[in-house]
Structure 1
Amino acid sequence: MRWTLAYRSLWLLTAAWTGVLLAAPAPEPSAAALAATYQSSAERLQGSPFKRPMILQSAESEGALKGEIHAVIGKPLATVSSALADPENWCEAMMVHPNVAGCRVVGDAAAPKLAMNLGARLEASGEAPYYAEFEFRRMQADEGFLQLRLEADKGPVGTRDYRILVEAVPVEEGKTFLHFSYSYVPSFASRMATQAYLSTKGRNKVGFTPQGEGYIGGLRGGIERNAMRYYLALESHLAELSVPEGQRFERSLQRWLDAVEEYPRQLKEDGTREEYVAIKRGQYRRLQVATVR
């Protein structure tokens, strides 16, 4: 199948959306259930191949795509809850992702929404062809349990039913066990765009799950790559919380790039690090003086 700009645009949009949204699994989460998951996952976390205590999984069933990560973060739950319960922090963390050209919090404090400009990777001009807005709901954020939901019934290119869940519990040594998961239903157009991309320019793209002599590809490979990018964005943001606000994005961006470079097979971007930093600095500066959309 011949690669066209139209297919490339659809693929990049789908990658952008799946890369920055997290969706909830079917079971109702609870602090006790997440703590039990931590206990049962201790050996897998300690023996993780990801150079950090983390488990990454993905699945495709009944027309929906799902991805999730469980990880131990070296911060107390109080710090994690305070940071992630603030939608402004989410926007700042998301801005390091290659598909996010802009993110702002809109609405009132009681019902905030995240408004994002999404587009092809590294839109240097700051112009992004698609706009998305979804609800940010704090279900619980205290000393024992963090639970956040983000929801969008409709997404770009006919994709739908984005359901987002983030939850966390405290564990030993003042650390936090974090779980985030995402699911969405792709459209025919988005599937075709992805298949076209993966059969041509993206034919060497893979995820992290071993498969045969290599790694999983296809839609699940794409979800795994973006889940990892997103997790590293959260990890980097949380690591730089003590930095003055005016310096925090720059420090988080540099930390995120260091982390991404640990996985060159899956996460290497086109261009140089210097080019990436310049584009992201420009996008972030524009947000300080302009609104999304």
Structure 2
Amino acid sequence: MRSPGWLAAAGATAAALLRAVVFCGLALLVVPLVCAQDAAALLARHGALRLQLESNPFQRPLYLESSQRAGTLQGDIYARFEQPFAVLGPALQGREHWCDILILHPNVKSCRPAAGDRLRLDIGRNFEQPLADAHLFEFRYQVVKATPDYLHLALNAERGPLGTSGYRMALEVVALDAQRSFLHMSYAYSYGLAARLAMRGYLATAGRNRVGFTMVGRQANGQPIHVGGMRAVVERNTMRYYLAIEAFLGVLSTPPAQRQERRLELWHASARRYPQQLQEPARAAYLKMKRREIQRQQAPEQEVR
């Protein structure tokens, strides 16, 4: 959950706009996500994307798409993993595992399991800050479907800032064969008037030259032109969350005591592959910030609030 940028302004009005911009960059799906919802449908999607997975600007089996319509933005990533479903399926289940994933995002300041099936997330800016300065979200963690070869998870929150509601993230994984898996992650949000105005201000100033990953044309010299505007915002955030999932899964064979540090290093190294899109904190600053946030996250909650 990443802020798309910060408006260089002061005063109460600017502060309200900043909060709206945070929301636009961090919100998780206000409309139903399009998921296969069974193994056969996701396998069919893998077949339909075979060419895109084999040849793409990412130079690995990964495909990203986005859409904008009627006040709603959505990003989807499809990726093939050289890891068996028998490993990935169990690893992706459990609220504690999802806190290990979500905390990798620069704007996630804290993640804690709460009563029942809830996750409490504090979302803020991409530098160190007190939790009192972040937005508190409460998500419902749900295993929608789990079979020996297919998993569908969802994270939902009823309310958010500026009167928003209905946030959601969805994840599907299916077994391709005994050694490979196929993953689909969806991320989206809807935005009202206040958030729209804040985003308009951001896109006219700090976010004016920020781009996404989808190529929409070429310059006269042949260089690619990437999508801009609000689709670029959702594409960047979709990628940040995907990289968190990828980093988490990439260290499963690492000794447990070393996994946390290795996940942080992998996330930042992966984000640095895309400097045009993902302008993240420097490596030393990111690692320092995340080590402190994870330490704070592991302390009793009453000691940090």
Query: With structure 1 as the length reference, what TM-score do the two structures score?
Result: 0.90
Moved more, 125-134 or 196-205: 125-134
Q: 2:21 aligned with 1:11, yes or no? A: yes
Moved more, 125-134 or 113-122: 125-134
Distance 1:144 1:243, change over 3 A: same
**Which runs of structure 1 show a deviation greater than 3 angstroms over 4 or more consecutive aligned residues?**
21-24, 124-128
5+ residue gaps, structure 1, are none
Asked if the contact 1:9–1:120 (Cα under 8 Å) also holds between the matched residues in 2, the reply is no
Measure how far apart 1:17 and its partner are: 3.0
Which residue of structure 2 lines up, in the alignment, with residue 215 of structure 1? Answer: 226
Measure how far apart 1:162 and its partner are: 2.0
Which one of 122, 146, 159 corresponds to residue 141 of structure 1? Answer: 146
Q: Distance in 1 between matches of 2:122 and 2:267?
A: 20
Measure how far apart 1:280 and its partner are: 0.9
Asked if the contact 2:71–2:192 (Cα under 8 Å) also holds between the matched residues in 1, the reply is no
Query: With structure 2 as the length reference, what TM-score do the two structures score?
Result: 0.87
Asked if the contact 2:24–2:195 (Cα under 8 Å) also holds between the matched residues in 1, the reply is yes
Q: Distance in 1 between matches of 2:19 and 2:167?
A: 20
Give the % identical residues. Answer: 37
Which one of 227, 232, 242 corresponds to residue 238 of structure 2? Answer: 227
RMSD, aligned CA: 2.1
Length, aligned pairs only: 286
Q: 2:163 aligned with 1:162, yes or no? A: no
Q: 2:196 aligned with 1:191, yes or no? A: yes
- SS of 1:60's equivalent? strand
Which residue of structure 2 lines up, in the alignment, with residue 203 of structure 1? Answer: 208
Q: Distance in 2 between matches of 1:232 and 1:23?
A: 23
Q: Distance in 1 between matches of 2:99 and 2:26?
A: 14
The 5 A counterparts of 1:33-182 are: 33-108=41-116, 112-172=117-177, 174-182=179-187
AA at the equivalent of 2:79: A
Measure how far apart 1:62 and its partner are: 2.5
AA at the equivalent of 2:255: P
- Kindly provide the CA deviation profile for residues 1-38 of structure 1, in whole angstroms up to 9, marking residues without a partner as x: x84242234313431334xx697524662111101111
- SS of 2:86's equivalent? helix
Distance 1:253 1:127, change over 3 A: farther
Moved more, 221-230 or 120-129: 120-129
Which residue of structure 1 lines up, in the alignment, with residue 263 of structure 2? Answer: 252
Which residue of structure 2 lines up, in the alignment, with residue 236 of structure 1? Answer: 247
5+ residue gaps, structure 2, are 1-6, 219-224
Asked if the contact 1:67–1:182 (Cα under 8 Å) also holds between the matched residues in 2, the reply is yes
Measure how far apart 1:192 and its partner are: 1.2
Measure how far apart 1:173 and its partner are: 5.7
AA at the equivalent of 2:204: S
AA at the equivalent of 1:217: G
Q: Distance in 2 between matches of 1:100 and 1:27?
A: 25
Which residue of structure 1 lines up, in the alignment, with residue 293 of structure 2? Answer: 283
Asked if the contact 1:23–1:182 (Cα under 8 Å) also holds between the matched residues in 2, the reply is no
Moved more, 187-196 or 242-251: 242-251
- SS of 1:266's equivalent? coil
